[in-house]
A = this chain, B = another copy of it.
Amino acid sequence: MNAATVREPLTASVEDYLKAIYNLSPEGRPASTSDIAHRLELSAPSVSGMVKRLSEQGLLEHVPYKGVQLTNEGRRAALRMIRRHRIIETYLVDRLGYPWDTVHAEAERLEHAVSDTLIQRMADALGNPHADPHGEPIPTADGLIEEISATPLPEIPLGDTVEIRRVTAGDPERLRYLASLDLKPGAIITVVERQPFQ
């Protein structure tokens, strides 16, 4: 079975693995079994088993005991899911009044169920945005993603005034906290003091 083989549609599980691995290896560095297990909240043996199947399917390369890297095909599938996720999040916030910090779980389920057609219709309705409500870039339909460069807030000198580009936080509670301070993409802020987040 090679890249030219006609593919069955991927299962929701497989899509989740590919997305997780993509997010864990920003520069294509290999992701470890336990990192994947931790991110997906699965046991390490479950991940080992799935990794084996995915590498047999040509979606990733696995060096036992070393780690895992997406193939081009795997990366394409991962970016497709990320595009879906981010378009859905944007649509829910812009068109259905979802609060910014509650869309993640909904998108997480819908991204596996929508058709390409629906994604394109949502994207068109939104004017084909380049970023989602968190400021994360939305890959194009043909799998291109722009890197949005931004300086992490802790590295900004006290007194500087900057625009918030992106708010990265896996944890919904943290997101709600940041939202409550109006720390959203597009906001212009001046760094006055630093406080620890407990």
- Complex Cα gap A92–B162 (Å): 40
Least distance between A183 CB and chain B CB atoms (Å): 25
Determine if A96 and B125 form an interchain contact, defined as CB atoms under 8 angstroms apart: yes
Residue of chain B at shortest CB distance from A121 = B96
Which stretch of A23-31, A111-119, A163-171 is in the interface?
A: A111-119
- Contacts of A118 on B, CB cut-off 8 Å? 92, 96, 106
Per-residue B-contact encoding for A38-72, CB less than 8 Å = 1, 0 else: 00000000000000000000000000000000000
Contact B96 A106 (CB under 8 A): no
Question: Does A109 lie at the interface of the complex (its beta carbon under 8 Å from any beta carbon of B)?
Answer: yes
The total of chain A residues at the interface (CB under 8 A) is 18
State the copy count for this chain.
2
Interface of chain A, main secondary structure: helix
A172 to chain B, nearest CB (A): 14
Distance A16 CA – B98 CA, assembled complex (angstroms): 28
Query: Which residues of chain A in 101-141 are interfacial with respect to chain B, using CB atoms and an 8 Å cutoff?
Result: 105-106, 109-110, 112-115, 117-118, 121-122, 125
A122: chain B residues at CB < 8 Å are: 96
Cα-based distance from A118 to B106 in the complex (angstroms): 8
**CB of A152 closer than 8 Å to a CB of B:** no
A97 adjacent to chain B (CB < 8 Å): yes
Q: Decide: A113 and B121 in contact? CB cutoff 8 A.
A: no
Tell me the smallest distance from the CB of A131 to a CB of chain B, in Å: 21
CB distance from A170 to the nearest CB of B (A): 20
| Interchain CA distance A113-B106 in the complex, whole Å | 8
- Between-chain CB contacts (< 8 Å), 9 pairs: A95-B95, A96-B121, A96-B122, A97-B121, A105-B115, A106-B114, A109-B115, A110-B113, A112-B113
